[in-house]
Structure 1
Amino acid sequence: MTAHRTIICRTALAATTAVAALVLTACSDGAGGGHDMGSMESDSSPTATATTSAKPGDHSAADVSFSTEMIRHHRQAIEMAELADSHASSQQIKDLATKIKGEQDPEIKTMSGWLTSWGEAVPEDMSGMEHDTSSAMPGMMSSADMDKLKKASGGDFDAMFLTMMVQHHEGAIEMAKTERANGTYAPAKKLADTVVTAQSAEIEQMKQMLDKS
């Protein structure tokens, strides 16, 4: 009987000890968790502050000028390229025109975004309107040039398109090189690099096409 009571007491004592240990562990975890959360909040706060206070890269008047003028320049190139689908006789020229439009459309959107973020005005789309900007930027076609291109078709259009687009690309490269030399906004200078590389390659392609025509 005494032995039986001893076993019961030991069992009860063990259970009590176990419960106490669980309570202590829970309290310890809760306190530790609260401390860890505080540490996490403290660690994350500087990151959040840094993100909020992060400023866009510096830009200069040269970057604004490049973006504004290149948007207008690209728009005329796209206007010329869109004529190829219905006026050109060569599928190779139609494919090149599609490529030019596919390259320059996204670049216009990118540069428009920069101007907006800088608080600058995005130039109005003057495509198809009587607005001669040929004297303002290198390589731009005059209104008279555009009228001739619109009236041409077949082989005449092909030759005229290639000749004009070579001149247009050369002007864009000149503008891009000016941005590389004078600009300060890294993304704009990188886009200028892209313009020089892509349009130099297309000039070579168009000159080869002219030689074969």
Structure 2
Amino acid sequence: MTLPMPVHPGAWRTRGISVDGVKVALPPRVVVLNAATGRAPRLLGMSTLLTRLPIAALVLALVPALAACSDDDDAAPEPAVHTADNGDVFNDVDADFATGLVQHHALALVLVDLTRGADVSPEVTALAEDILATESLEIETLTDWLAVWDVPAPETIRDHANAGHGDHGDHGDQGNTLSLDGEIPGGDLPGMPSTDELTELLSLRGDEFEQRWLELMITHHEGAIEIADQEIEDGTYSPAVDLAEAVREAQLAQVEQMKSLLEG
């Protein structure tokens, strides 16, 4: 054990320096003596001290630097940027947005088709017509961009579905039937209903049909908002970002409208 010893002869040592041949005394320093041996401890140089640092301490000191390197390695690469023949500059996020939203909107239009002739409220009919008018124009715009960018237009559910007027149930209601051929194109996009959910919808009538239709359309709109948010965050093509913001605003408003209809 090392203890500070009382001041006694030998506990103080005079230090000094030589200036132009004259020795100048400096204030004394206290030397802490070892209580067992009466000797001053040996001072360690910096190199010796470093070699005696615990390995764990060195590892802890390196952790922040290693973490920073790991973060750099895990960072997602920037989306590839392209220039179309007409000078449009767009990236892969823009192309994915246009492709995905064409498929997504096409499903919404199929849901709109299913309300034609069905026993739904005037409010749902008006909402469906609003969706049809807005999203049809947006599909045209998105398809035009894809053509200019030389990106193939995607298949949609409308390429594989046959929606037409027919018997909607054993009550004699005139509604729509929907024949699906295989998987729904873009079925992995957020908010897209499954084939089973669409089949279930077709089996319903009246208030049950309207309620389920609203539920599916709310989920579908929330998926469109998610697609729009991705474009707003990472897109490069300004008109596409502007469209994404418009889609987000319109779909949020319609979601609130549909929730009110469900509660009413």
Q: How many residues align?
A: 159
Matches within 5 A, 1:1-213: 55-127=86-158, 128=161, 129=180, 130-133=182-185, 136-212=188-264
Q: Where does structure 1 lack aligned partners over 5 or more consecutive residues? A: 1-53
Q: TM-score, normalised by structure 1?
A: 0.71
More strand by percentage? 2
SS at match of 1:86: coil
Displacement of 1:69: 0.6
Distance 1:135 1:124 in 2: 11
8 Å CA contact 2:118, 2:206 repeated in 1:
yes
| One-letter code aligned to 2:113 | E
Displacement of 1:55: 4.2
Cα RMSD, aligned residues only? 1.5
8 Å CA contact 2:184, 2:194 repeated in 1:
yes
More helix by percentage? 1
SS at match of 1:59: strand
8 Å CA contact 1:134, 1:141 repeated in 2:
no
Distance 1:131 1:86 in 2: 26
The one of the two structures with greater contact order (alpha-carbon pairs below 8 A, sep at least 6) is 1
Displacement of 1:172: 0.2
8 Å CA contact 1:137, 1:171 repeated in 2:
yes
| One-letter code aligned to 2:207 | G
| One-letter code aligned to 2:220 | H
Closer/same/farther in 2, CA of residues 88 and 192 from structure 1, 3 Å limit: farther
Displacement of 1:91: 1.2
8 Å CA contact 1:67, 1:112 repeated in 2:
yes
| Greater Cα offset, 148-157 or 178-187 | 148-157
| One-letter code aligned to 2:241 | K
SS at match of 1:87: coil
SS at match of 1:152: coil
| Greater Cα offset, 127-136 or 60-69 | 127-136
8 Å CA contact 2:231, 2:241 repeated in 1:
yes
